C-alpha cells in the first residue's frame, strides 16, 4: 500500500469519527461506519489491504 493510500484512509477514518461523535451519523449506519473506519486505520498501520491481494492491485510505487 502506498503512502498516499494510507493518508487517504486515515483522513476518511478521521472524518467518519468526527461525524459519529458530533451526532451527524448515528444508529446502525454510525456503527457500520465506525467499523469501516477501524478497518481503514488498521490497514493503514499495517500497510496491507486484504482486498487488494485477490484483485492484484497495488498502490506502491514501482521501481524500474
Buried b (16+ CB within 10 A) or exposed e, 7-45: eebeebbeebeebbeeeebeeeebeebbeebeebbebbe
Is the pLDDT score of 52 beyond 80?
no
Confidence of residue 21 (pLDDT cuts 50, 70, 90): very high
To the nearest whole number, what is the mean pLDDT of the chain?
88
Helix (H) or strand (E) holding 1: none
Any domain includes 54:
no
Any domain includes 14:
yes
- pLDDT for 62: 66
Domain extent, residue 20, equals: 3-48
Residues 37 and 11: beta-carbon distance below 8 Å: no
Any domain includes 58:
no
- pLDDT for 63: 63
Confidence of residue 7 (pLDDT cuts 50, 70, 90): very high
Structural domain total, the chain: 1
Any domain includes 62:
no
Any domain includes 60:
no
Residues 29 and 49: beta-carbon distance below 8 Å: no
pTM of the model: 0.80
Cα 21 from chain centroid (whole Å): 18
Amino acid at each position: 500500500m502506498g503512502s498516499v493510500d494510507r493518508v487517504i484512509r486515515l483522513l476518511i477514518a478521521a472524518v467518519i469519527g468526527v461525524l459519529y461523535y458530533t451526532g451527524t451519523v448515528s444508529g446502525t449506519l454510525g456503527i457500520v461506519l465506525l467499523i469501516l473506519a477501524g478497518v481503514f486505520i488498521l490497514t493503514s498501520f499495517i500497510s496491507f489491504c486484504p482486498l487488494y491481494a485477490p484483485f492484484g492491485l497495488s498502490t506502491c510505487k514501482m521501481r524500474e
